[in-house]
Amino acid sequence: MSSSATPHGARPVGTVVGSPYQGKVTHYKIKNAYATSIFYGDIVKWGDDNPNTTVQKDTGTTALTPIGVFLGCAYTDPSTGQFTPNQYFPASTAADDIVAYVATDPFVLMQMQSDETLTQDDLGKNCAIVQTAGSTTIGTSKNAVDGSTAATTNTLPLKVVDFIDGPDSEVGDSYTDVLVMFNVGHQLLNTTGIG
């Protein structure tokens, strides 16, 4: 049972559309020397980094405008001159060739941990997200579902669609593992453009 907080951000595990999940990623640029670290499992968005549109960490809590889930990056390391794949993007990395790997499926199912107990009554409810600095040691996000916000509120960014039942988690645990999907705001479904 999940009796300790071990948030790990959003882990894509499937899709709600009727096809097998293939884990497809899209490659997007990150601005040279972008000042915010992005960790595996963080939600990212398109941002207008004049003069170009690039990927940025989406730092929203009660509202998101996601393009998808960050699954790592690669760049030429400014210290070594070597091509470097990385699980996370270290803030202010100075390179002109930074590329992010992003799961962009608007209907992706993501496994996340709640910061408190969620019960069967919370199935189908919408929640905010808790934004926490990720781990530079292992490169993963520490974001979680904000269980205290579970409600019918249609503007909250994540929808609880299932629970993870297994040896490490079950419905009603102190820190319930859930499957969520984007509720509103995905940039591929938004009719307003960027830029």
**Joined tokens for residue 48:** 């207008």
* pLDDT at position 1: 42
- The residue segments making up the domain with residue 157 are 107-182
**Percent of the chain at pLDDT above 90?**
80
28, part of any domain: yes
Pair 84, 121 in one domain: no
10, part of any domain: no
Instruction: Report how far residue 3's alpha carbon sits from residue 25's, in angstroms, rounded to the nearest whole number.
Output: 33
pTM check: above 0.85: yes
The whole-number average pLDDT for the span 61-90 is: 96
Q: Is 177 helix (H, G, I), strand (E, B) or coil?
A: strand
Which residue has 């951000």 as its token pair? Answer: 9
195, part of any domain: no
The whole-number average pLDDT for the span 16-39 is: 92
Q: What tens digit of pLDDT does each residue of 46-66 get? A: 998 878 899 999 999 999 999
Pair 128, 163 in one domain: yes
* pLDDT at position 184: 92
Q: Are the CB atoms for 90 and 113 separated by under 8 Å?
A: no
**Structural domain tally of the chain?**
2
